[in-house]
Structure 1
Amino acid sequence: MPNMPPGGFPFGDPQQMAQMLRQFADMMSAQTPSGQGDQSSGINWDMAKNVARHSVSEHGDPSVGVTEYAHVQEALRLADLWLNEATSLPSGVHTMEAWSRSEWVEKTMPTWSKLCDPLTARIVESMGQNLPGEMQSMAGPLLGMVRQMGGMLVGQQAGQAIGELAREVLGSTDVGLPLAGEGRAALLAPGVAKFGEGLGVPLDEVRLYLAARETAHHRLFGHVPWLRSHLFSLVEEYARGMSFDMSGLEEKLGQIDIANPEALQEALSGSEGEGLFQPQDTPQQKASLARLETTLALIEGWVSVVVDAAVAERLPQAASLAEAIRRRRASGGPAEHTFATLVGLELRPRRLREAATLWKALEEARGVDGRDAVWEHPDLMPSSDDLDDPEGFVSGRADAEAAQLDISQFTAERPEGDSEEGGSGGSGEEDGGRGGEDGR
């Protein structure tokens, strides 16, 4: 370990370290006088919002003009009407808005804090739990300062990541769920224009296509009540399995001048694109991440199928726009990188094409109503294995329902108490159960 003192404590005199931490906490607090840490996680989300807004304003953030606002509202309204022909789910939009980047930061921050808290809180907790024994022996006051320092650092990194994201997002649903609440559809005029650059597609057509995606997400979340909480639960499950290699923190602390708290801030901020700490892969994490990615893929796959059906005959460049979205998602757009910047979690629907294929197969076999009925309960949803065999999922589900229908007809037609026929009915039920299992 660099700079290891003779006494064996890698960070120098613990008292000096405590003084540096106090200075660092004072410095961070002075930078954001209105910021307060969240009571449950210790993360300073007011600081995060201030940092994000500052990041946006540095690059220029003009307000949305009256004409552009009207164009966005009209696109959202028209696209939402088109979706009526492509899905059985009714409109989920209550308000239609056009935002600047700063407005996006302001209106989505409450959801970001809820979504990120389980992950960032684990980082702050790890900072206290993984301190060397010499530092832990200084007991409560120092550990409290370490956690305060961690909350401020994570809040600052979160703000930087969200500020970068604000410069590239298209609307309120880029991460796969409505960040500003259900029913509040919005597009960012600068993001729409930037997305359309180089595509050779008229801006009005780009706006309509993105409006269809925005309103499709709101239909899904507005009428599938379990979906939003399910996604949050998967993120929390992932967070519970997180563990961190703190050797990088120890190395950084061992190399800095303890009399210079600014050096501590610079060292712990990390290089561009790196999180404060990188979580170690564990079997629990990998399993949780697989479930999260499957759910995100199913959401994005459904949206792409529904939107393509709604706009195919209305927008001449619909296929080109759909491919541009797929490339954006597959390569890891800004939304996917935000969590990775914070703690190494990417919200990327890696199996988007497989999910879209499954929804199309369901629609061909059961129609639009049958396809959308799968969203009625989480137990009906396809698994990761089903994405490997969409036809098996579709046929298995159909066989199970057919078997249940046969049982109902048999029960209604046969006299009660007929043991031989009752045995046949039991066999049919058993076959139906196997069909459903095979499909899953």
Structure 2
Amino acid sequence: MSSQSPDDPTAGGPHDEQWEQFFRSMFGDGADEAMRQMREQGLDPRALAQSTGLGDDPRALEAMLAQVKRMFETSGDSPVNAGVAHDVARQVAVTGGDPVVVAAQARTAKDALSVAELWLDVVTDLPPAGGAPKAWSRSEWVEATLPAWGRLVAPVAASVADAMATVLGDQMGELDGGAMPEIPGMPRGMLGQLDPAGMMRKLGSAVFGMQTGQAAGTLSREVFGATDVGVPLIEENVTVLVPSNVEAFAEGLDAPLDEVRLFLALREAAHARLFAHVPWLRAHLLGLVEEYARGITIDLETLEERVRSIDISDTSALQDALKGHVFRGQNTEEQRATLLRLETTLALVEGWVDEVTATAALPHLPHAVPLREMLRRRRAAGGPAEHVFSSLVALELRPRRSRDAAALWAHITAGSGPAGRDGVWEHPDLLPDDQDLDNPAGYSERRSAVAEGSADLDRALEDILSGTVAGIDDSGESTAEPGSGDGAEDTAAGGSDDSTGDDEGGAPQDR
């Protein structure tokens, strides 16, 4: 009697069991039909493993299956696979090392943030954010901010996923397998019971999860705190420094590490105050980003050309195909207006922080001026992660006119003092626009005109509410004096109203 190998698929060996579990978890109701077709066509799961270069190593096969399974998993209907984004971001964050924040680093970071709050109290009326100062590692920064990046990318990811479903679904051809691209070790037609569009959306979600994780992980190696990206990334009102990044930035500078740390702490604390005590600002910024992203359209011709020759099972090739110019270059009029508002608001935030930080630092830090200029140039140039996000959402989160905005805030401070400068943030309608960045003096004139108009409106509303308009009191009765001829022209001319029938005593007759 012949013996069967434990890996024989007909004997239900470990490889066969692993593939069966994988297909059931990934394909759901279509798994039985797919596996039936495999067995009818004599497919050996071991051949599929060999084609991937895994050989007979069950551990390697299990790891590969787990990775592929996770790629096709998605958190509900999210266009960005949060699990994949998290794993990739953590891997990138620790590349080259992610030192644990030791007690001494945490203490100096928190002390710097506390001192920064004291200095800022002198130059701005906005109070501290209120949260305890923190010192984070790069991995901790990723954990805290990754959900916000997912929300920023999601609108564009949804559009790209739909486009991929259209393009790749067309390329997969008819569901009988005749035009299905061949995958090594897998027979044609075995995916006949599956939904190509649904698979492509899952694949697109995984690819965007990879790209989002890559960008967030790279950013974690560049940022100094929780707010210096410009867009609020955490809900909690806290101030944060990332000591390893602060120390790496200070290396090679003429300024000592203590000064660099204090200057960066000032910027972090100023950002936190602004986002904590201007309640509409966070939603305003994120809303503009999402509004712009939702209007982005995908160039289907470019996307189709890029994916025509790639293997749909090669996620790195799909990731490369989605980079760059797959977005239509021509923005709509609404998008251009949204983009202008977004860029102006980002510049105003950065300019306010720049001006307030410089004012607070000058009396205390000898290197405040060169540090300010260095941070300006660094912010204007951007970094690798910002370029990745630019390719993801066709949007650069860099303020282009932060210098102009800082000059505007300085002009407002000179004319109205710190209270007048900070009072501009009371309502979004008071914010300067791009024309005000060109002409700071024009903003003061425009705001004065708006204030006068508002005062006139307030007086009119007060008159109406107090019942002094048109001679009507709160009860609706006329408040006109006898003989005033309210509503009659002859009283102004000194004549008498013939209809009143005044008697000899001059008293009006009852009507």
TM-score normalized by the length of structure 2: 0.70
Q: Is the 8 A contact 1:174 1:335 kept in 2?
A: no
Partners of 1:336 and 1:387 in 2: CA distance: 24
1:334 CA drift (Å) = 4.6
Identify the residue that residue 266 of structure 1 maps to in structure 2: 316
Which entry has the higher C-alpha Rg, 1 or 2? 2
Q: 2:122 aligns with which of 82, 85, 91?
A: 85
Bigger mean CA deviation after superposition, 116-125 or 291-300: 116-125
Partners of 1:407 and 1:232 in 2: CA distance: 32
Aligned length: 390
1:387 CA drift (Å) = 1.3
Identify the residue that residue 31 of structure 1 maps to in structure 2: 67
Q: Is the 8 A contact 1:37 1:151 kept in 2?
A: yes
User: Are residues 1:381 and 2:431 paired?
Assistant: yes
> Aligned AA for 1:235?
V
User: Are residues 1:370 and 2:406 paired?
Assistant: no
Partners of 1:408 and 1:164 in 2: CA distance: 52
Q: Is the 8 A contact 2:228 2:267 kept in 1?
A: no
Partners of 1:124 and 1:356 in 2: CA distance: 40
Task: Check 1:62–1:224 CA distance in 2 against 1; reply closer, same or farther (3 A cut).
Answer: same
Identify the residue that residue 19 of structure 2 maps to in structure 1: none
Per-residue CA deviation, residues 277-302 of structure 1 (Å, 9 max, x unaligned), is: 44533224333222111110010001
Partners of 2:405 and 2:78 in 1: CA distance: 35
Per-residue CA deviation, residues 256-276 of structure 1 (Å, 9 max, x unaligned), is: 357xx2xx32322218x9459
The CA RMSD over aligned residues, in Å, is 3.1
Identify the residue that residue 11 of structure 1 maps to in structure 2: none
Q: 2:138 aligns with which of 101, 108, 111?
A: 101
Task: Check 1:337–1:252 CA distance in 2 against 1; reply closer, same or farther (3 A cut).
Answer: closer
Task: Check 1:143–1:28 CA distance in 2 against 1; reply closer, same or farther (3 A cut).
Answer: farther
1:67 CA drift (Å) = 0.3
Q: Is the 8 A contact 1:362 1:370 kept in 2?
A: yes
Q: Is the 8 A contact 2:110 2:134 kept in 1?
A: yes
> Aligned AA for 1:142?
P
Q: Is the 8 A contact 1:175 1:336 kept in 2?
A: no
Task: Check 1:279–1:347 CA distance in 2 against 1; reply closer, same or farther (3 A cut).
Answer: farther
User: Are residues 1:308 and 2:358 paired?
Assistant: yes
User: Are residues 1:245 and 2:282 paired?
Assistant: no
Q: 2:158 aligns with which of 94, 118, 121?
A: 121
Partners of 1:308 and 1:154 in 2: CA distance: 39
1:171 CA drift (Å) = 0.8
Q: Is the 8 A contact 2:379 2:398 kept in 1?
A: yes
Task: Check 1:97–1:187 CA distance in 2 against 1; reply closer, same or farther (3 A cut).
Answer: same
Identify the residue that residue 429 of structure 1 maps to in structure 2: none
Q: 1:148 aligns with which of 202, 208, 225?
A: 202
The equivalences for 1:327-338 within 5 A come to: 327-334=377-384, 336-338=386-388
The runs of 5 or more residues in structure 2 that have no matched partner are 1-37, 39-48, 53-61, 176-192, 472-511
User: Are residues 1:293 and 2:330 paired?
Assistant: no
Q: Is the 8 A contact 1:53 1:105 kept in 2?
A: yes
Task: Check 1:401–1:144 CA distance in 2 against 1; reply closer, same or farther (3 A cut).
Answer: same
Partners of 1:236 and 1:205 in 2: CA distance: 37
Task: Check 1:382–1:170 CA distance in 2 against 1; reply closer, same or farther (3 A cut).
Answer: same
SS in 2 for 1:256: coil
The runs of 5 or more residues in structure 1 that have no matched partner are 1-18, 419-440
Q: Is the 8 A contact 1:107 1:180 kept in 2?
A: yes
> Aligned AA for 1:160?
Q
Q: Relative contact order: is structure 1 or structure 2 higher (C-alpha 8 Å, sep ≥ 6)?
A: 1
Identify the residue that residue 181 of structure 2 maps to in structure 1: none
Q: Is the 8 A contact 2:149 2:212 kept in 1?
A: no
1:127 CA drift (Å) = 1.8
1:129 CA drift (Å) = 4.1
Q: 2:309 aligns with which of 239, 242, 255?
A: 255
Partners of 1:34 and 1:102 in 2: CA distance: 21
The percent of aligned pairs where both chains have the same amino acid is 46
Identify the residue that residue 490 of structure 2 maps to in structure 1: none
Task: Check 1:32–1:394 CA distance in 2 against 1; reply closer, same or farther (3 A cut).
Answer: farther
Partners of 2:299 and 2:239 in 1: CA distance: 40
